[in-house]
Structure 1
Amino acid sequence: MWRDRGYQIDLSPSYKQQWAYLAGTDPKRRASLEQGLRDQRYRAILCGRGGYGGARLLETWKWPAVPEKWLIGFSDITSLLWSLAQTGISGVHGPVLTTLAQEPDWSVQRLFDWVEGRAIAPLKGAGWGGGRTTGKLLPANLTVATHLLGTAVQPDLSGVILAFEDVGEAPYRIDRMLTQWRMTGALQSIRGIALGRFSDCENPGEETVTETLRDRIGDLGIPIVADLPFGHQGANAALPVGVMAHLDGNQGSLEIDST
């Protein structure tokens, strides 16, 4: 799909490697990432999958000083996106190479529009109230972001709009994660929360995910919008990382500032 649009796509020589549950050892995966960063022919790094292992690359490692280029991915790639954003480079929380073909046409076009310099339309969801706010957008997989709390990879959360999605997490585990966010004080200075899809997270007979989310964040007194079309197992609308966004908890919208 990228090639059909006129892009040159090269696969890293190590892309078929495997080491335990990872795509190669940490040094080899870092080397592949650095190669893509330093090679001036490349304007973007397209992640092939999520899974697990991104945060391991960031231990005792810093991003090299290279020209700004796109990093595109989601789920486990949250750790890389959040870390890169601290250097002033905005990546894209969006479809990886192995999920792009499953996206609806509008979502594919949205991704290409953003990386090619065009504005993208607001996303519509279900507003939980709280008015309207503006802040720096930090999209994330909730589980991965939770495990970044208190580390050097955790960005400054003051004045941000968090955008969370997840997959395969029972309501009690989502409760546990959000309780940790509350107890660390990480939610005290944020301006709003945008909620995407929480796929395969329901356990029959238990509290629903929506009930859990309302219980754990509904009392924060900030704009919250749920049911936005991003995350696993469905449309995964591209969301820029670290750019200004507008969240309307009354109208149920998330708008990206294109300026």
Structure 2
Amino acid sequence: MSKIILPPPLKPGDLLRVIAPSGALREFAAFEQSLEIWKAHGYNIQISDNIDSRYGYLAGTDAHRCQQLATAWHDSDCRGIICARGGFGSTRILESWSWEQKTADPKWLLGFSDITALLWSLYKAGISGLHSPVLTTLANEPEWSIKRLFDIVAGRSVAPLQGKGWGGGKVTGVLLPGNLTVATHLLGTPLLPDLDGVILAFEDVAEAPYRIDRMLTQWRLSGVLSKVRGIALGGFTDCDAPPNIPSLSIEEVLQDRLSDLGIPIVSDLPFGHDSPNAALPVGVEATLDADEGILNVCC
């Protein structure tokens, strides 16, 4: 794809809007604590109306959640959009949503987990976002992870991430981080971006090993992995098999389904649902060193 557009660096005083495009907000104390972190860095934070709305497991109806996104996205004074939490629901609003690429006025979109669908569709529209803690998780991050997030949105460089290299050399490509389950459900849809030259960065939570196996097998059968230059694996939290049930471990599944692809792979990188969740910009150039176990973002 053409060169990605990186939103302008944020600066103290900038207006940032908080939206809930996915699951219903439940973790109110953590939400408030994370808001204070953003405010302490000097940002003007505006929370969308009725952000605590509920429609079953969703943070309101599709129309309500889509309107939150539209209001923030089309607000010329807004410099960034922070997602309240993940859960489920962002793909539902993408059925009727278009980013209407704003090359002259892009803005940051921040989140992870279910927000993967928004981040990947925004990337397909040519604009970078940030795979990062949401407002129900930021307060639980270690200091270095919080600093990393604010360094990235302010346009400052960040340190490489250290993981476990599987061997296979070093590669440079376009970084595309996200949740494995959400990304898998984009396969075969118009929302899936072109994966040519991409370094996939996957994490997940509460998925039994056989389900991770099933998803990775779908990726293999889809044929798209032939375009991918490397794979960076973060945390796979609470992905152990139930006790007393015969199973491969999550580590064995990842090795079994990925190690024969002939591309550099690094695992155990510090991003995902379990703290730390190191922020990763979407669509920027990155280098993955599978001999040294390093992921380095080049922006």
TM-score surpassing 0.5? Answer: yes
1:49 alignment partner in structure 2: 85
Compare 65-74 and 194-203 and name the one that shifted more: 65-74
Task: Provide Cα deviations, 1:75-127, integer angstroms capped at 9, x if missing partner.
Answer: 00000000001111100001001111100000000000000010011000000
Task: Provide Cα deviations, 1:52-77, integer angstroms capped at 9, x if missing partner.
Answer: 00111111321134420000000000
Q: Distance in 1 between matches of 2:62 and 2:42?
A: 32
1:246 alignment partner in structure 2: 287
1:229 matched to 2:270: yes
1:115 matched to 2:153: yes
Q: Distance in 2 between matches of 1:55 and 1:120?
A: 30
1:12 alignment partner in structure 2: 48
Q: Which one of 117, 122, 129 corresponds to residue 167 of structure 2?
A: 129
2:5 alignment partner in structure 1: none
Which consecutive residues of structure 2, in runs of 5 or more, have no partner in the other structure?
Answer: 1-36
1:26 alignment partner in structure 2: 62
Q: Is the 1:78–1:144 contact (alpha carbons within 8 Å) kept by the matching residues of 2?
A: yes
Task: Provide Cα deviations, 1:180-215, integer angstroms capped at 9, x if missing partner.
Answer: 000010111100000000000011452111100000
Provide the secondary structure at the position in 1 that maps to 2:178. strand
Relative distance call for 1:19 and 1:217 in structure 2 (3 A) is same
Which amino acid is 2:230 matched to? G
Which amino acid is 1:7 matched to? Y
2:20 alignment partner in structure 1: none
Q: Which one of 250, 262, 272 corresponds to residue 209 of structure 1?
A: 250
Q: Which one of 142, 146, 159 corresponds to residue 184 of structure 2?
A: 146
Provide the secondary structure at the position in 2 that maps to 1:2. helix
Which consecutive residues of structure 1, in runs of 5 or more, have no partner in the other structure?
Answer: none
Q: Is the 2:101–2:126 contact (alpha carbons within 8 Å) kept by the matching residues of 1?
A: no
Q: Is the 1:14–1:32 contact (alpha carbons within 8 Å) kept by the matching residues of 2?
A: no
Which amino acid is 2:264 matched to? P
Q: Distance in 2 between matches of 1:121 and 1:68?
A: 25
Query: Matched residue pairs, number?
Result: 258
1:21 Cα deviation after fit: 1.1
What aligned pairs does 1:164-203 form with structure 2 within 5 A after superposition? Answer: 164-203=202-241
Q: Distance in 1 between matches of 2:193 and 2:48?
A: 29
Q: Distance in 2 between matches of 1:109 and 1:90?
A: 19
Q: Is the 1:55–1:79 contact (alpha carbons within 8 Å) kept by the matching residues of 2?
A: yes
Which amino acid is 1:60 matched to? S
Q: Is the 1:128–1:224 contact (alpha carbons within 8 Å) kept by the matching residues of 2?
A: yes
